[in-house]
Chain A
Amino acid sequence: MLKNYFKIAIAVLRRRKFFTFISLFGISFTLTILLVLTAFIDKVVGDNYPDKKRDRSLYINRLEESGKDNMSSGGPSYYFLNHYAGSMKTPVKMTIFSGSKGTNTYINNKKIAVDYKYTDANYWDVLEYDFLEGKPFNQQQVTNAERVAVISEDMKNEYFGDVPSVVGKYIEADNVKYKVTGVVKNIPVTSYMTYSQIYLPYTVSKTDYKNKGYLGDYSAILLAATTADVPKMQAEYEHIMQRVPMENKGFNVLYSHAEGYIASYVNTGNEKQSGVTLVLTILGTFVLLFMLLPTLNLVNVNITRIMERSSEIGVRKAFGASSKTLVYQFIVENIILTLLGGLIGLILSVIAIEVLNSANLIPNLVLSVNFTVLAIGLLICLIFGLLSGVYPAWRMSKLNVVTALKAQ
């Protein structure tokens, strides 16, 4: 039976090449976009270098203060994190680090744009950077506000060229020279919390990290001893937040959350709850709308194809096919079509991803089609096949035999 359906499906596809092209183009193009997007999200969310202890980490990166007439939100300050989060008992370790900032430096009269960030010494324990050479700066160096730096592999190559070792050499950023203590493996800019090209001790920051304002440009990662301690750690932070005094009289509400990685990634910062639901709703709506157009197109093409085949439908019904059998046949045929489109989409995705990777649009972001992406792609194909096949199949099954036979 299935073999027969397969034969018919292929024959129908070959008979109407233009329709087939439109159908396959619609499916494969949509799938390509979705697969590339999935690969991107998978990479951004799933890539855990150097943040390998996510399961027992909580992230604090937003703070919102609001009052009757005014509202401020942004990252917390070093003072705020150090003073309040630093007083927590549950975390076994905590690191505070700034966001990545851009500056220019010059080498051989050539301007280079570089990104740098400030960290504490714990940063190198909480996060597991791969050191290609040298080592991180230590607590003593941070306390002494030594002008030392850890740089990325890219930065090393760009600034120093192809040399075997740069540890002990000086790199200039923002008109200050820093002594390189280590070189780490590159991180894509999409890992926004940990990305940088130059890492400096926060004590050398030109802005006053001791400023007692609550808002700043810092984030913190709290590390629990075990995964089981994470909820306790989260509750402790919430508890502390309730007791934090208002920064000034203009504000009466203060929000800040210690959240898991994904929640912190999508946190908009100005809400009581995490942004996960919002982001999922937006993503889901986008995917649905994106799939709706080709699906409707396919429904339309399918109805036309069915009407062309009304004689066949009449014959099959006359010789014993029930409406249910015909619906099944048509859905199977449609799934064959969508799987074919899916296969083409997959090939196109691999090509698109290769092109994106080689074009290096986002430095150090290497996308790949992995098992998750493939499984999602297959699922999308099946949903596509069912969505676009059910209505035409239902219309077909309602055809009267005599009318169907006369239609030829």
Chain B
Amino acid sequence: MIQLQNIEKVYRTNTVETLALNSINLDIAKGEFLSIMGPSGCGKSTLLNIMGLLDMPSKGNIKINDQKTEHLSDKQLAHFRNQKLGFIFQSYHLINDLQVLDNVELPLLYRNSTAKERKMLATEALEKVGLANRVKHFPNQLSGGQKQRVAIARAIVGRPEIILADEPTGNLDSAMGSEILDILLQLNQKDGTTIVMVTHDENMAHKTHRLVRLFDGSQVQ
């Protein structure tokens, strides 16, 4: 499903060159739930961003569904992300000026869908995460756990094949964190969604199919 070949990412300033990722080779199968662990600054989020086509590697190739991605234009990349990928971020990144329903509908705005379809799909996604009664609320009226559930609903509303979650439970207490992980596990088991999750929590990582560890930009496990 996702193939990373010799991925390297270098950050350059005028004086310093930092190797954030070094020769990463990874194959993620369809329906797999993979977690990435490692100390802060080891390149976990960079790797996830590269998988999500949000950032470009300095070297190496990424194939998603056997499609090469390095030559895609800005418009094609945007379309690809819209169709295939869903993102969950540690700090939720909800748009505070929009109601919950409008936040969830967001990925569908960039598709040819009608307002009615958007509303129906967004309500369905919110039902899945148990927030159907919060559609008219604004993000700042919700708890951290609820916000992350809204973010999950937004990630799944377009029925993407892959969900990339960057420390989705990082800002939550353990009970909330477990709830979020349960939702992700269900998505993986019931819908067969491929999930890649960056986490600091060893227990959570062990509940997923496979664990990859990074250290100083290199894959150590």
Contact = CB atoms under 8 A, between A and B. Distances in A.
Interface string A137-156: 00000000000000000000
B98 A11 contact: yes
Interface string B85-127: 0010101011101100010011101110001000000000000
A317 B93 contact: no
A375 interface: no
Contact of B93 (A8, A320, A408): A408
A311 B110 contact: no
B95 A320 contact: no
A384 B9 CA distance: 43
Contacts of B109: 1, 4, 321
B110 A4 contact: no
A401 B85 CA distance: 15
A320 B111 contact: yes
B75 A318 contact: no
Contacts of A323: 74-75, 78
Nearest to B91: A408
Interface in A150-205: none
Contact of B115 (A3, A318, A400, A401): A3
A315 B54 contact: no
A395 interface: no
A91 interface: no
Given A3-B115, A408-B93, A320 B110 contact: yes
Chain A binding site: helix, strand, loop or mixed by DSSP?
Answer: helix
By size class, the interface of chain B is 20 to 34
Contacts of B91: 408
Interface in B103-157: 105-107, 109-111, 115, 154
Interface in A1-43: 1, 3-4, 7-8, 11-12, 15
B213 interface: no
Q: Of B83, B106, B115, which is in contact with the most chain A CB atoms at under 10 Å from its CB?
A: B106
Contacts of A312: 95
A44 interface: no
B95 A315 contact: yes
Q: Across chains A and B, which 8 residue pairs bring their CB atoms closest together, nearest first? A: A320-B82, A11-B97, A320-B110, A322-B78, A319-B107, A401-B54, A322-B75, A315-B93
Interface of B: 49, 52, 54-55, 74-75, 78-79, 81-83, 87, 89, 91, 93-95, 97-98, 102, 105-107, 109-111, 115, 154, 158
9 contacts: A3-B115, A4-B105, A318-B81, A318-B87, A319-B107, A320-B110, A323-B78, A405-B54, A408-B93
